[in-house]
Amino acid sequence: MPWEAIEQLGTDWAYTPNDNYKSKEWVLGTLIDVVAKGGNFMLGVSPMANGKFPKETIERLEYAGAWLGVNSEGIYGTRPWNIFKEGEDLRFTRGKDGKYLYAIAMKWPGKTMVIRSVRPVEGSEIVMLGVKQPLQWRQDEQGLVIDIPQAIEQHKPCDQAYTFRIQAQPFRMSSG
């Protein structure tokens, strides 16, 4: 069933001078979490009396917009996957046509990323959105292991939350 999370960026639904605004990381993390659960996220922002938006509002929206400029494929037009998360730092969405799974690491995964609940289609490419070359991967007893070259770490495609496009087999819960 369609649903929507509506949150205000500050403490009130209307502009309040010297308000405490939620962080840019909170805005992006909430967007990803809501979409992974199959929802839509609406952020309430209000202009000042002069019709302009406070710089804090603009900074947070530009931050989310820059991230979406790289990672929108894993957000727009997606659907929830069989599970919405693995651990605290990994969220999942799937493309509307079901061909791709998007694994969104909320934090930088390091030299390798291990995903226990995903099995890629044999021979498929795995890419980090915003990076041109496909990543090396293997399936072993840990699960899906994706190697992340140091060159990518030195030139990350965004500041927070890294999206991996995977052609994956359907997830099946084990009976045990």
Give me 144's structure tokens. 């899906």
Per-residue pLDDT of the chain (176 residues; tens, 9 = 90+): 789 999 999 999 999 999 999 999 999 999 999 999 999 999 999 999 999 999 999 999 999 999 999 999 999 999 999 999 999 999 999 999 989 999 999 999 999 999 999 999 999 999 999 999 999 999 999 999 999 999 999 999 999 999 999 998 765 544 44
Q: How far apart are CA 94 and CA 83, in angstroms?
A: 10
pTM of structure: 0.93
Angle at 71 between CA 36 and CA 77, to 5 degrees: 55
Which residue intervals of the chain are DSSP H helices?
24-36, 55-71, 150-154
